[in-house]
Amino acid sequence: MGLAHRNIEGTAMKQSNNGPDSQPRPTEGFGVPLTETNPHCFLVRVPKNNKGAVEIVENLGVQAKDNSSEEIVRVILDRPRWTAIRQEVQRIFNNRLKEHKLTTSRWKVGDNPVDRLLGKELCVLAWAVERMDEDNIPVAVRNWMAFRPEERWWLFSMTAMSTGLAHDDDRGWRVALRHALGDVAQHDLFKPRGVTKRADDRSEQSFDLFSHNPTKE
């Protein structure tokens, strides 16, 4: 997949804000472009059963090597833990979308499309709380909010490399995230200081929907 394709979202975002007469790009869910065929995104699957677990799935779309590898189940949250984070995540994501005049969304039963970078950020929080004492989840949410978006992307990348599947819930970086977000008030431990940026990282940073504005959060 070429760099030009990976930058298509950033290009569309810039075009949506190029003047008073410009039209925002059409999206579904939380920022997933309707102008692309089978885009790389995340799906948050909320079952009808109000006690059913919620799946967060990465859909590689056209980047998948074959149909069997198109979807990766990243995390499964029991309903109480999902309920504990859903409203705050929805608020943060919608604030980011509104800054760029994109359609906001809300969680509903069924598949909820989430932009690929927002989905990475959601995974970081979900990984942290999946086995956390429920009393600590509000602390984890506040600590997650304190990260800049690019820090959340870095944490996703580091975790996904070795423990990024649903069944990796009690190993390595997943355990580290749980303690870092749930046990302490600061997140300096995992600041990606001096991380060498790859071409993919630079292309993600060009997608200015994800620039950090703490006054909105």
* Cβ atoms of residues 81 and 132 within 8 Å: yes
120-173 per-position pLDDT tens digit: 999 999 999 999 999 999 999 999 999 999 999 999 999 999 999 999 999 999
| Mean confidence (pLDDT) of the chain | 82
70-88 per-position pLDDT tens digit: 899 999 999 999 999 999 9
- With 80 as the cut, is the pLDDT of residue 212 above it? no
Mean pLDDT to the nearest integer, 14-19: 46
Helix or strand or coil: residue 28? strand
Q: Which residue has the higher pLDDT, 201 or 83?
A: 83
State residue 62's pLDDT score.
Answer: 74
State residue 66's pLDDT score.
Answer: 62
Which stretches within the chain are classed as H helix?
A: 3-6, 8-15, 79-99, 116-129, 137-146, 149-163, 172-183, 199-205
State residue 183's pLDDT score.
Answer: 82
Which region, left, alpha or beta, applies to residue 148 given φ > 0 means left and ψ of -120 to 50 means alpha? beta
- With 70 as the cut, is the pLDDT of residue 16 above it? no
The range of the structural domain enclosing residue 204 comes to 3-19+27-216
C-alpha dihedral over 41, 47, 51, 55, to 10 degrees?
-20
For the chain, give percent helix, strand, coil, nearest 5: 50, 15, 35
What is the number of domains present in the chain? 1
Mean pLDDT to the nearest integer, 197-209: 47
Mean pLDDT to the nearest integer, 91-116: 96
Q: How far is CA 125 from CA 34, 131, 155, in A?
A: 26, 11, 10
State residue 193's pLDDT score.
Answer: 52
* Cβ atoms of residues 214 and 121 within 8 Å: no
| pLDDT > 70: percent of the chain | 71
- With 50 as the cut, is the pLDDT of residue 15 above it? no
Q: Which residue has the higher pLDDT, 181 or 188?
A: 181
- With 80 as the cut, is the pLDDT of residue 28 above it? yes
Which helix (H) or strand (E) is 54 found in, with range? strand 54-59
